[in-house]
Amino acid sequence: MYNPYDFYFKKAKKEWYKARSAFKLQEIQDKFWLITKSTRSVLDIGCAPWSWLQYTIGQLKKFGVQQYQVIGFDLKKVELNFPGLSTYVQDITEQEKVHSILSQHQLSQFDFIQSDIAPNTIGLKDIDAMRAIDLLEQTYWIYDESLSDTGVFVIKVFMWPGFEEFVLKLKKRFWGKNIKVFKPISCRSQSKETYIIKQYSPSK
């Protein structure tokens, strides 16, 4: 049975995270080590309600990273203040505007891209699935253009029609051995969400 006030909801409140989704990223980090002492630039797509920002910046501090830039985009305003963090109310699919913002920060590529973005759903499976894959396709450009050669990413996806084709597209672009699909235990059991991870590989 769906319980909005489950263990992870209560844990998030206790640890001052804005949302329970922080623990999904924590599980991913524990398994794949996407954030390291070498991480200097992070792009967060769909950064509201900002629990991923909280966790990621906490990890950067844990690793003793002094000089970093974290850029977040969302359609909603994010009220979070940390040194090195800049957030924008901006549609990530508007490429020219996104490029303009990134150029202001003298950033064109990132060490780590994290995306917890999701489409607006209406409860109709076919339409929701179409919206989800369409959003993935519209945001593909950012991984294709803005990930550094040694960069890593995590992307939330839904296991609806089109999901496997998108995974294959990423495998073709980023050398398939580095692409993993992983569902954290903190995801609700009935949820179709899962995560695509690109790990770092020093050689091809």
- Annotated catalytic sites, by residue? 156
Distances (CA, A) of 196 to 115, 156, 159: 10, 7, 11
Question: Which of 34, 35, 7 lies closest to 23 in space, CA to CA?
Answer: 7
Identify the H or E element spanning 54.
helix 51-62
Question: Do the Cβ atoms of 111 and 41 come closer than 8 Å?
Answer: yes
What separation in angstroms does the CA of 39 have from each of 47, 68, 73, 141, 148? 18, 8, 19, 21, 11
